[in-house]
Structures are given as structure tokens and as C-alpha cells.
Amino acid sequence: MWQGDIFTFRLGGRYAYLIGFIDDYSRYMAGLELYRSQTADQVLEVYRRAVGEYGVPKEVLTDRDGNIRTGGDRLGLSGSYGRTGQTH
């Protein structure tokens, strides 16, 4: 199971956003990228890169953040906690 979230902070006087997915068991960062804005497309980009390198997680846990939720909906996740719906 992975957990996904967006961390917002100030960098050089501007907002910056870390979008990440962490493996719940090992605490290893499966995907992490830094952006100057946050969009659902960026969430999907980070997720897809992580899946490309580590495979599809059985479950993904997120909070109710709008961009995480929109990205999750586009991936076929249900609610804030769901299965990816992909099988291998």
C-alpha cells in the first residue's frame, strides 16, 4: 500500500509543492517531485513514474485534497482509500 500527499512550503519567496507517494510498509519514497504549482496532472505524473519503476500498488491511501482526489478519481481509485483496479 502506498500513501500519497502534497506538502506545501515557501521556497525563494514563492510557494513550492512536493508531491509524493510513499510505501506504507518500507517507508520508501516510491515517487517524489517538486513543482511550483499543484495540479491533478502532476499527481498523475508522479504516480505513473513511481508505478513504472516499482509496479502497481494494491492500494493507495490519500487525504481529501482536491488535486490528489481528482488524480485518484482519474486513476480509478474510489474515495480517499481504494484499490487501483489494475491487475497483474
Give the tens place of pLDDT for each residue, 24-62.
Answer: 999 999 999 999 999 989 999 999 999 999 999 999 888
Is the pTM higher than 0.85? The answer reads: no
Question: Which of 1.10.10.60, 3.30.420.10, 3.40.640.10, 3.60.20.10 would CATH assign to domain 2-83?
Answer: 3.30.420.10
Banded pLDDT at 82 (limits 50, 70, 90): very low
Residues 55-77, mean pLDDT to the nearest whole number: 72
Q: How many CA atoms lie within 13 A of 68 on its CB side?
A: 20
- Calculate what percentage of the chain has a pLDDT beyond 90: 66
Helix ranges restricted to H, 1-55: 40-54
